[in-house]
Copies of this chain bind each other. A is one copy, B any other.
Amino acid sequence: MTTADTNSWTGIRAELLRRIHSRVWQPGEQIPHEADLAEEFGCARTTVNRALRDLAESGLVVRKRRAGTRVALNPPQRATLTIPIIREEVEALGKTYRHSLLERDFRPLPPMLHGAFQVTLGADVLFLKTLHFADDRPFAFEERYINLDAAPGARDMTFEDVSANEWLVHSAPYSHGDLSFFAVNADERMSRKLDAAPGTALFSMERITWSGALPITHVRLVYAPGYRMRTEI
């Protein structure tokens, strides 16, 4: 017995994990049910339930009513990645953050976004182009559209002091959003802004957030060369 610490729910989870990793319970195999495990560990079923629920959340086991719990066949690599506000990301690197607003105007939504980002027909959106710096070196380039129906206050903001990102999280919190990551080649313009050779592969992120059915903002971020997004699983 590795004698899982105490019989706290985390201790029980640890022991269950050990059995899965050491292949005592093989992938696809059904494991004893909650009541039996509770008896074995000498704890309440609720406690076993808590442990199993946690394992199910991380995808390691699959649970079905009546059918029981079984070890996942193809445990999906489920990673939670935390996308911080750029200022915090830069400061976490021990560097000084600053940003500069390159453009700010009201314009119709570009047709490219009509599908994913539906604003009132014919209404202008606020367009912002920002460059983020870490220790005076370009860190990321940002193009953003803000739906003024969702964040009317944005109309009067210059966004020179506080970044749109930070202002929005406080003023127009989103309920959900779509996120995608991809690679782009630096074009002429990006190359100048980000201090990268033309054609350099750049890591890029696109994000749309909504408050209910109302779209709030569309952002496209292009990071300077060498950027890596990291996480643990």
Contact = CB atoms under 8 A, between A and B. Distances in A.
A233 interface: yes
B81 A177 contact: no
Nearest to A229: B181
Contacts of A179: 77, 79, 230-233
Using C-beta atoms within 8 Å of the partner chain, give the interface range for chain A.
Answer: 35 or more
Interface stretch (A37-45, A133-141, A195-203): A195-203
A80 interface: yes
B85 A232 contact: no
A17 interface: yes
A174 to B, nearest CB: 8
Interface in A35-70: 59
Interface stretch (A5-13, A20-28, A97-105, A154-162): A20-28
B177 A227 contact: no
Interface in A88-128: 88
15 contacts: A20-B173, A23-B173, A74-B84, A76-B82, A77-B84, A78-B82, A79-B80, A176-B233, A181-B181, A181-B203, A181-B228, A182-B203, A183-B202, A199-B199, A200-B201
Interface of A: 17, 20-21, 23, 27, 59, 73-85, 88, 166, 169-170, 173, 175-185, 199-204, 207, 209, 211, 226-233
The 7 nearest A-B residue pairs measured at CB: A183-B183, A201-B201, A183-B201, A77-B83, A183-B203, A185-B201, A180-B230
